[in-house]
Structure 1
Amino acid sequence: MVLVAIIAIVLSSLILIKSADWVVDSTRRLGKDTKIGNFALASILLALATSLPELFVGISSALSGQPTLSLGNLLGANIADIALVLGVVGVFGGVIVLRTHQDEKIKFTMQRNLLIALFAGLLPIVLLWDRSLSRVDGVLLLLFYVGYVSGFFQKRVFSNAEVDAGSKGSFWTRLLEGIETGKGGVRGDLLRFLAGILVLIVSARVIIFAASFIATSLGVPLILVGLSILAIGTTLPEIAFAYRSIKENAPNLALGTAVGSAVTNASLILGVVVLISPITVAARREYLLAAITFALVVGIFWLLIRTGLKINRLEAGVLLLVYIAFIALEWLGFRLF
């Protein structure tokens, strides 16, 4: 059975990569049709779409009375969204370069979202100080996400970043107009986008189930499965999508999805999970290493963005090594206190 699980992981990974091609192509066309920049589009829509595996895992674990599994998954996925995704893409896909006619504006937008991602990632840790996440905490997390999205979809935010100066109306207005009129092939692009996301999610779920089966067969603790195997598995859509984005010379999509997914996981998804089933942890040391690692990863990424609009292979390697070290310490049972 373990051999069957390994074969399932390999085949699903191939399907995952192919479906990422569909999503990249359709997203770029949607961005062009609606005159919304790639980074802005990826930070909201793509981040939400590629975070659906985490959402499904979270709801399932909450309904089954095991929300701690989802907490571990989301904490691990947030680290993976930046360190693993950009690390793997940078090392194996080549230098990640942001080059547009509005580099400084894109840089400002990226730095702004990194600060939001850092705050979003640390907010659950602060709320966990009493070793529990209540439904009130869940409401606060959801309100944070609503504020994040509403701020992003104000026209002035897009005009300061990547939207064309001559465009009129909000993103939703232009998208709905395109669907109603069929202008610019919006309907077809949207269908391809949704189909690609669906295949991404299904193939990722197969990988998650197979990896979890292998882990439980080996007697791996549940919290460790969430922090490592599930976190990596639910981040596979982001990895596949980011890799294809770099190969298609659309780095804004890769970076926007990675940062946006971190915000989505820490606020929207965790908020939903906590509303369904409040979380209680035995001791702060169970999540302290993950919290410090997340802050370290975002800090490193912040420095890379501040020093230039690119991440070379060496810098991506540093992010990847930090992630590998985190996983190794978790599996070795290391605790700070």
Structure 2
Amino acid sequence: MQNILFIVLGLVLLIMGGNWLLKAAVALSLRLSIPKIVIGMTVVSLATSAPELIVSIKSALNGLPDLALGNVVGSNIANLALVLGITVILGTIEVKKSFYTTDWPVMMLASLLFFGFIFFDGELQRYEGVIMVISLVIFLVYLLRFQKTAVVDELPEDDVLLPLYKTILFFCIGGVALWGGSELLIKGAVGMANAYGVSERVIAVTVVSVGTSIPELAASIIAVIKKEKAISLGNLIGSNIFNILAVLGITSIITPIRVMDERLLSNDIFWMLGVSFLILPLVLIPRGLRLGWRNGILLIAVYAIFVYITIS
């Protein structure tokens, strides 16, 4: 029970801390007169990935590499199977053309790059992390130059210029919350793994990853309740791209990540690749560029099978 409490409190602090950091980062960027489109693609994206980044870095530094890797792999699976599945059950999503011209190909390339780096030697080296971060920068530059319309709406609704003291306060509180939340989450995850006799990887790709996907899920449900356009597939794919190239890239630059539980390589990473690939035929067949409730049921079923196989 204590471990579950640690995990829940950790996730709450991570989500709140990420939100506070996001507010501060956007406010500071506006104060520095950085164009909103640049803020949307860089500051906002990095700030919203802060919980995953902090958890992965601290896990790797604490000698828990499977928690760092499992968090990202599991989160990517959860985003496209669980979160997207629930979203399209609640409301049909019209998929933009940029899905198959930019978003999906880049996500698959990032996923395959990660696979190539880690599958054969079981380790994500520093130079590989550098390549991943450089790849992300190239992708962002491409978006800013050629896909501006795809990133105009990246800013949150409350992108207002906060007073300087509030900006500093949000930065400080957000940073402390992220640090404290990651400590509690990691402690709870390790404790739960020990209590149930499973590896940290199992907890990471199920409990932790779903927890760090809560913001995306909440945004989807709120959008449906408000009868607004649900969170776009592009945003979820963008989250997956950042998880791989930014979170794992930066983490492996700080400290190389070595796989401890081989099932990350024999099971989880193939599920991530499979779910990522599955989205393409679901979008294009049968009606084209649309995802509805039938697709949602299929995606949730796929996620349920993944979880069952993982914990069994």
TM-score by length of 1: 0.70
Q: Report the equivalent of 2:279.
A: 301
CA distance in 2, matches of 1:188, 1:313: 40
Alignment of 1:326 onto 2:301 = no
Query: 1:108 pairs with 72, 97, 119, which one?
Result: 97
Query: 1:86 pairs with 84, 87, 97, which one?
Result: 84
Q: Report the equivalent of 1:248.
A: 226
Alpha-carbon distance change, 49 to 320 in structure 1, aligned in 2, over 3 angstroms: farther
| 1:121-140 correspondence runs (5 A) | 121-131=111-121, 132-140=123-131
1:113 CA drift (Å): 0.4
| Partners of 2:69 and 2:248 within 8 A in 1 | yes
Q: Report the equivalent of 2:56.
A: 58
- Kindly provide the amino acid, as one letter, of the partner of residue 48 in structure 1: L
Alignment of 1:145 onto 2:136 = yes
Q: Report the equivalent of 1:167.
A: none
1:76 CA drift (Å): 1.2
1:245 CA drift (Å): 2.8
CA distance in 2, matches of 1:18, 1:276: 25
| Partners of 2:51 and 2:212 within 8 A in 1 | yes
- Kindly provide the amino acid, as one letter, of the partner of residue 151 in structure 1: Y
| Alignment coverage as a number of residue pairs | 292
1:46 CA drift (Å): 4.8
Alpha-carbon distance change, 207 to 153 in structure 1, aligned in 2, over 3 angstroms: same
Alpha-carbon distance change, 64 to 115 in structure 1, aligned in 2, over 3 angstroms: same
Alpha-carbon distance change, 303 to 9 in structure 1, aligned in 2, over 3 angstroms: same
Query: 2:160 pairs with 186, 190, 193, which one?
Result: 186
RMSD: 4.2
CA distance in 2, matches of 1:198, 1:248: 28
| 1:175-214 correspondence runs (5 A) | 186-187=160-161, 198=174, 210=188, 213-214=191-192
Q: Report the equivalent of 1:226.
A: 204
In structure 1, the gaps of 5 or more residues are 24-33, 99-105, 165-170, 176-183, 333-337
In structure 2, the gaps of 5 or more residues are 22-34
CA distance in 2, matches of 1:138, 1:53: 19
- Kindly provide the amino acid, as one letter, of the partner of residue 109 in structure 1: S
| 1:220 match: secondary structure | coil
CA distance in 1, matches of 2:47, 2:273: 24
- Kindly provide the amino acid, as one letter, of the partner of residue 115 in structure 1: P
| Partners of 1:138 and 1:275 within 8 A in 2 | yes
Alpha-carbon distance change, 252 to 61 in structure 1, aligned in 2, over 3 angstroms: same
Alpha-carbon distance change, 14 to 282 in structure 1, aligned in 2, over 3 angstroms: closer
- Kindly provide the amino acid, as one letter, of the partner of residue 127 in structure 1: F
1:310 CA drift (Å): 3.0
TM-score by length of 2: 0.75
The share of aligned pairs that are identical, in percent, is 28
Alpha-carbon distance change, 247 to 21 in structure 1, aligned in 2, over 3 angstroms: farther
| Partners of 1:67 and 1:273 within 8 A in 2 | no
CA distance in 2, matches of 1:14, 1:317: 28
